[in-house]
Amino acid sequence: MSMLARARLGARSVLVALAILWIALPSARAQRSRFLVRSNPHDWTLSVHLVVKAYQAPLRTDQPPEYDAFNFPGLSVIFPVIDGSASSRTDRAGVRGTLEMNDRVVDNSPTWIDSWPGNVPYHSGEKFGKWELVKGKGREIELDLSIPMTSWETKFDEAQARRVPWPKEVWPDVPRSTFEPQMFIDMDMAGRPYDMTPIRRMVKRWTKGKPKSQPPVVTAKWLTGQVQEYFEPSGLGLRGSRVGEIEGLDLMGAPAAARRGRGSEFDMVTLLTAVLREAGIPARMVIGFDKSEEEENDKFLSKTRGNDRLAAWVEFCLYDEPTNSVTWVPIDIVRLRKRANRMLPLGQEWMYFGTHNELDSMLPFTFNFHPPTRVMAYGSPGFWGWVVENAQPPRAAYQGLSFHAMTTPKRGNQRRKRTN
């Protein structure tokens, strides 16, 4: 299985320049919006299990198996742990994570990574946990992660939101970060830029070259409906490992999705994200575990149970400039497309555009299919990555992911969280 190339987001000099620019600009207030009301809170704990196994040559009856054992002088494993989304909030203090090599604990105290040097936010406001191995040799590395969070339903006041114009100045820091290159939107895993011509032509045709002739919410809704009609979801979008876990995601990239008009639900999400950004609207992908689709007795996600447990949707930014406040508005293009393949009247409220009565059972954990840092993984993008210190990384390995979600147990004296 071939090794994925390292992803790069630019030279050090560019990052320094960006850091200076971003520090000089004000940050918007955290989401507590008059446009989006959250209700029906549900406390969840998302468990993630990642296993990375050293390469084993195909078995031959006349020879013993060959292993390519890991030998790390230093290793850092990265996995996303976001603070929250439009419909969720992570209890970062309650997160627990353990890194093991050959069933031996090597780190159970992760370091939290919140931004680039200079306090420049990661793409889309991503956050990470980092686990370190000082030195080790073995054939298997495992990361077990427990992420407590609260998820809400959302109710969108679209009538009020339509009164918000395009900002006269720059977007705030995190929304602005969404316009930076992102894997599977603007570039591939090796950092090679895509030809974005199909996206540009699509947005120009759908908006008649004037995406800002309407308020941002109207433009976002119109483009959502266009993608809903244009794209036909098909395929799982997942790749299975040798032992039945998820090896990673199978993604074609936004321009390819635009050309083909057909692909997985994850491809449809990348397409809508790219379309909104091309129109000048900050948008980010949200990936999470969909508990609403999980059977109560199903414990782990596997390819044989389809892709209705891992879910992806889009959030776009509504920036109220006079109050310097940001509202992230969720768009579940997947559920919209399942409900109808034609756009509903633009003046009508759409379930799953802002208003979403199932988000209280959806557990977001990342805004990226692969970390936007100098990390690498194997086979397919699977949200995680590692950095090997002072040595060449292993030439090949097998990775597998599994997920499980459960209601967070409450003590008798704990009160239910309030609506936000």
Tell me the per-residue pLDDT of 79-110, one tens digit each, with 9 for 90 and over. Answer: 999 999 999 999 999 999 999 999 999 999 99
Residue 154 lies in a domain: yes
Residue 219 pairs with which residues in a beta bridge?
none
Q: Are 74 and 389 in contact (CB under 8 A)?
A: yes
Residue 236 lies in a domain: yes
Q: What average pLDDT does this structure show over 114-132?
A: 92
Number of domains in the chain: 1
Q: What average pLDDT does this structure show over 107-119?
A: 90
Residue 90 lies in a domain: yes
Q: Are 78 and 130 in contact (CB under 8 A)?
A: yes
Instruction: For residue 319, count other CB atoms closer than 10 A to its CB.
Output: 22
Domain that holds residue 392: 12-407
Residue 283 lies in a domain: yes
Question: How far is it, in rounded angstroms, from Cα 216 to Cα 220?
Answer: 6
Q: What average pLDDT does this structure show over 8-26?
A: 36
Residue 32 lies in a domain: yes
User: What letter does residue 59 receive in the DSSP assignment?
Assistant: P
H or E element, residue 256: helix 254-260
pTM: 0.87
Strand, coil or helix: 150: strand
pLDDT for 5: 39
pLDDT for 20: 32
Tell me the per-residue pLDDT of 22-66, one tens digit each, with 9 for 90 and over. Answer: 333 444 444 567 899 999 999 999 999 999 988 766 555 555 545
Residue 6 lies in a domain: no
Q: Are 210 and 216 in contact (CB under 8 A)?
A: no
CB within 8 A of 114, min separation 6: which ones? 121, 122, 127
Q: What average pLDDT does this structure show over 378-401?
A: 84
Q: Flag whether pLDDT at 4 surpasses 80.
A: no
pLDDT for 63: 55
- Token pair 């002072």 in the structure block, residue: 390
Tell me the per-residue pLDDT of 219-242, one tens digit each, with 9 for 90 and over. Answer: 999 999 999 999 999 988 988 766
Q: How far does CA 22 lie from the centroid of its chain?
A: 23
CATH code assigned at 380: 3.10.620.30
Tell me the per-residue pLDDT of 188-198, one tens digit each, with 9 for 90 and over. Answer: 988 999 999 99
Question: How far is it, in rounded angstroms, from Cα 308 to Cα 244?
Answer: 16
Residue 418 lies in a domain: no
Task: Specify the range with the lowest mean pLDDT, choosing from 72-76, 189-193, 302-306.
Answer: 302-306
pLDDT for 92: 92
Query: Residue 414's closest CA among 84, 148, 37?
Result: 148
Residue 415 lies in a domain: no
- Spell 74-101 as b/e; 16+ CB within 10 A means b: ebbbbbbbbbbbbbbbbebeebebbbbb
Tell me the per-residue pLDDT of 124-170, one tens digit each, with 9 for 90 and over. Answer: 999 999 999 988 888 899 999 999 999 999 999 999 999 999 999 99
287 phi/psi in degrees, rounded to 5: -120, 135
